[in-house]
Each structure stands twice: as C-alpha cells, then as structure tokens.
Amino acid sequence: MKKKQENSKKFLYFFYDILRYATLNIFKERKELLNHILRKIVIFMGGTAGNIRIYNSKTKSLVLIGSYGTSKRYKGDKKSLKIGESISGVVFQKNKLVVVKDLRKSKRYLKLSLALESKMISLISAPLTIFNKKLGVFSLYYSYPKNFTQLEKEIFKLLANFVSLIISTQNIYYELSDAYVGIIKMIIKALEEKDLYLKGHSEKVKKYALLIGKKIGLDEFQLEQLSDLTTLHDTGKLLIDEKILNKPGTLDNKEWEIIKKHPETGAKIISQIRRFKNGISIIKHHHERVNGKGYPNGINGSKIPLLAKIVSVADAIDAMLSPRPYRKPLSIEEVKQELIKNSGTQFDPQIVKVALELINEGKIK
C-alpha cells in the first residue's frame, strides 16, 4: 500500500511538472515543446526511446515531429509514414492502442534494423485524439521484451491524451495569433494599396529575404521566422502620419526622429504574439548598420542578429528598385553598385555577397 502511494505521489509530481512546462511554453516551436515533454515521459516511464508523429492532411502521412533516444539515421529514414504503414500507421488507421512485446518477431514493423540500432525492442503505441479527431501517434520503446501491465497501459493512454491536449491547445493558440497577424497584414496591405510607391513592398522584401536565407543555408525554423516577420517588418509605420511617410522632399530633424522610432514601435506591437518572441529582433534591428550608425540602438557587427541583417539588405534592394516621390527606380546595375559601396558599413559583407550572386543568377531582378 505504501509503495502504491509513493508511486501515485511520484506520478502526480511528474504530471504537474510537464503540465506546468506545457502551459508556460505553449507559444514555443512545436518541435521544441514536444521533444522536451517526450524526453520527460520516456525517462519517467523507464523507456529507451519515444516518438510523436503528427498527421499531415496535405500529404496524408504521419510526420515525425518529436523523437528521443533514436539515431540520426532513424530520424531521417523514418521521418514520414503512410497511413497503415508500420505499427504507427496501423495505430492511427485503427485508432486503438497497440502493444508489441518483441519487434524482432513483428512482420508489420518497417525498417527493423533502425530500431535495433537504437536498442528499441518492444513498444507501446497509442493514437493521439481529441474530440474524436485524430491528430497523430505516440509511441514508447523499451530495450527488452516487455510485458505491459494493465496499469502501464492506462498510464500511457493518459499521457497520450495529455500530449493530444497540448497539440490541440497549441493549434488554437496558433490560430488566434495567426488571426492577429492576419489583421495587421491586411492593414499593411491596405496602406500599401493606397500608396503607389509602397505597393507590394512587404511581400517583395519577404521574397528577397527568403532567397538570401535559403542560399546561406538557414534552417527551416529560421526561414519560417523570416517568412512571418519580414512581412511585418514595417508594422511600426502604421502609427506614423502619412504626410511624413509620403513627403516628396527631405525630412526635417523632427520628422526623421519619428521615422527612426518605427522599428521599436513595430517590435512592441508584434511582441504581443509570444510565439514570435525569438524573432522580434528582425523587426527591431532591420535598420541597424554594421558600422554602428544605424537605428534604433546603434548596435554594430555581430551584435546585429543575422536575420535582421538579411532583412536590411532585402529591404534596401526593394527600396532601390522601386520608384519614390523624390527619385526614379535604380537600374539593377546601380543596385549592385550601391550594395558593393555600402558593404561593410551599412550592410554585412557576407549578405551582400549572397545578394549579388542572386542578382547575377537573375533571381533578384
């Protein structure tokens, strides 16, 4: 009896720990959030490895989003499974818990050698569902042929329901933040439509930034941040008088000080979306210069975040290629000369080098 009470106490402490973490970090990237919780569950359950797969309705496949205790080769070769394929595919298809005491005797398991490489011998796998909607599959592996007790099965089902709740809650959070971003994007687009000189500016800056980002080898998460936040890089200008923004002549000191505040203002507006917390620097610092003479903070060199440096160059390219009230658009050759001229002072030389390559390849024109 005493041992049962102690085990119950341990489980309650463990469950509180992962619940608290999930609640405080629901805005984080899904992979990071689920990997942390998965690691905690595998260790608590005394397992060897674990996987969380999410159903992708576009590809109609189960994509490996969280994995702990598995090899790099496993994560690469088993990144995606079809419905009905391997154990996970069957669990999703039939929507029921499956237990396999010894994978070495299973004809259903796909690419057994990869599992054995990570000492994955037995498994328990449950569907991830909420309100009868199938979200994915959660699997836990052990390094020996294991007989699962009824209690262990019930605990695993409970943990699978918890993971389902996290995924569903995060979906709702993303939908709400996407709606917020959507409203801001609509306002920006409406303002750009009214202004011949700014029409399509945000989308073109995003396009150039992504071309540069892909060429320098940014990972998927960084490219996603660029895609989302570059479109919003001029959000702060929403609060600036149109007379200042569209002034055909030179800005006076007072007007220039107002303009210089737009990156910080934009960052404050977008910081309300916690999932963008790590990418706010894109908005805040896209007018900094590598020589420290930019704004709003006058930071230089390596202190300027890489993604902000990329947006700085992309923003300048579109500004130069577009007409302005006070000048005609520059030719592509003139843009190249301006980039070279300001490399190492306004722009990061490495980003300029990549941008010039893209121009020479005809991808920026």
Which strand ranges, in their side-by-side order, compose the sheet holding 49-56?
A: 80-82, 61-68, 49-56, 133-142, 122-130, 98-100
CA 191 to chain centre: 28
**Helices in the chain by DSSP H: which ranges?**
2-24, 30-44, 72-77, 86-94, 112-117, 150-194, 201-215, 220-230, 242-245, 253-260, 262-270, 280-284, 306-321, 332-342, 349-360
Rounded to whole angstroms, how far apart are CA atoms 335 and 347?
13
Rounded to whole angstroms, how far apart are CA atoms 198 and 319?
9
Catalytic residue among 28, 146, 204, 237: 237
- Name which of 236, 365, 229, 220 is nearest 310 in CA terms: 229
Rounded to whole angstroms, how far apart are CA atoms 2 and 24?
33
Rounded to whole angstroms, how far apart are CA atoms 169 and 271?
20
Q: Has 119 been annotated as catalytic? A: no
Residues with active-site annotation = 237
